[in-house]
Structure 1
Amino acid sequence: MAHNLQTSFYFSVSISGMGSSDAAFQEVLGLSKEMGSEDVVCGGENRFKYRLPTMTTFSNLVLKRGVTTDESSLIAWVKDTLDDGLANPIQTKDIKVRLLDEKGNVSMQWDFIAAYPVKWSASDLKSQDGEVFIETLEFSYRYFEVEDSRSPQMDLYA
């Protein structure tokens, strides 16, 4: 049985209202969601406790890229959001992360709804290294949806 494994290095990012030059990232982190649980002790029965499901939580979306000398509407949005505090309403944008197959077709897509920047950080400055200066952008969002357009998987339980 042959498996065509999907690679993780061929992807694209797009942010609503931003040009394609602001969507070149080298790394995407935070594609996860987790359902929490709550322990409930049963009255009179001390040998065990129930673990009941609670709400689903999402980790922040983290995008990393090399810093360029060009003007960036993405960085302007990040700066306005982080520097203004809550003096002005936070502008949200939708962010799409697409995993591409070897032909450049979308095989999976994550849609992050109503995202806004919550953190900006940069790599360390080191005179002895010749590495690219990397900025890391972190976003919170309302929720995300996953679209999976890969060919249907074989039903292992048939």
Structure 2
Amino acid sequence: MASYYPPVGFSFKVEFESLSTSEDDHSFQSVSGLSVDLETEEIAEGGENRFKHKIPVRSKFPNLVLKRGMLLNSEVIKWCKKAVENFQIEPKNITVKLLGENQEPLQTWNIVHAYPVKWNVGDFNAEESKLVIETLELTYQYFKVA
């Protein structure tokens, strides 16, 4: 019998630095974009025709995408609306915590200098009984895993 079981991905919390203390504002349905790619540059060496050297250049981080059921009177949405409607960009640090069985943090991602680049509200349809889902897309400089 295995002694280690990987953590489950359905228990997590998203916190926005100096933005909201409401527990509802920390709850999301999904988080994606916690990945990093190392960009490389190819350099040809004179006289060596079998291959090109690949040199690491920089890290590249995709946008962070957060989804949840629409929340009225959300401080996070007010922050997003300031950015997309009034062009008042106020970068925030964000913490994503993967939680264990007792709601203790197992791993933490500290996202640096994030701001919204897209806010989307899901479709309305009188023929379906679905929750209204809002999607926030944030760009950021980098993240650190703690």
| TM-score calculated relative to the size of structure 2 | 0.91
TM superposition shift of 1:78: 0.5
Q: Report what 1:72 is aligned to.
A: 74
Q: Report what 2:56 is aligned to.
A: 53
Q: Report what 2:144 is aligned to.
A: 145
Q: Report what 1:122 is aligned to.
A: 121
TM superposition shift of 1:3: 2.0
In structure 1, list runs of 5 or more residues that go unmatched. 148-158
Q: Report what 2:16 is aligned to.
A: 15
Q: Which amino acid aligns with 1:144?
A: F
Q: How far apart, CA to CA, are the structure 1 residues paired with 2:123 and 2:10?
A: 24
Q: How far apart, CA to CA, are the structure 1 residues paired with 2:51 and 2:73?
A: 59
Structure 1, 93-102 or 122-131: larger mean CA deviation? 122-131
Q: Report what 1:151 is aligned to.
A: none
Q: How far apart, CA to CA, are the structure 2 residues paired with 1:112 and 1:35?
A: 17
TM superposition shift of 1:139: 0.8
Q: Report what 2:102 is aligned to.
A: 103
Q: Which amino acid aligns with 2:138?
A: F
Q: Deviations over 1:37-87 (max 9, x none)?
A: 11111112222111111101111111101113x3122111101111123xx
Q: Report what 2:32 is aligned to.
A: 29
Q: 2:84 aligns with which of 78, 82, 85?
A: 82
Q: Which amino acid aligns with 2:77?
A: I
**CA-atom RMSD in angstroms:** 1.3
Q: How far apart, CA to CA, are the structure 1 residues paired with 2:100 and 2:83?
A: 35
Q: Percent identity?
A: 39
TM superposition shift of 1:28: 0.5
Q: Report what 1:131 is aligned to.
A: 130
Structure 1, 70-79 or 104-113: larger mean CA deviation? 70-79
Q: How far apart, CA to CA, are the structure 1 residues paired with 2:119 and 2:125?
A: 19
| Number of residues of Structure 1 aligned to a counterpart in Structure 2 | 143
Secondary structure of the corresponding residue to residue 135 of structure 1: strand
Secondary structure of the corresponding residue to residue 22 of structure 1: helix
Q: How far apart, CA to CA, are the structure 1 residues paired with 2:92 and 2:43?
A: 39
Q: Which amino acid aligns with 1:80?
A: K
Secondary structure of the corresponding residue to residue 5 of structure 1: coil
TM superposition shift of 1:125: 2.3
Q: How far apart, CA to CA, are the structure 2 residues paired with 1:121 and 1:43?
A: 51
Q: Which amino acid aligns with 1:6?
A: P
Secondary structure of the corresponding residue to residue 78 of structure 2: helix
Q: How far apart, CA to CA, are the structure 2 residues paired with 1:22 and 1:105?
A: 18
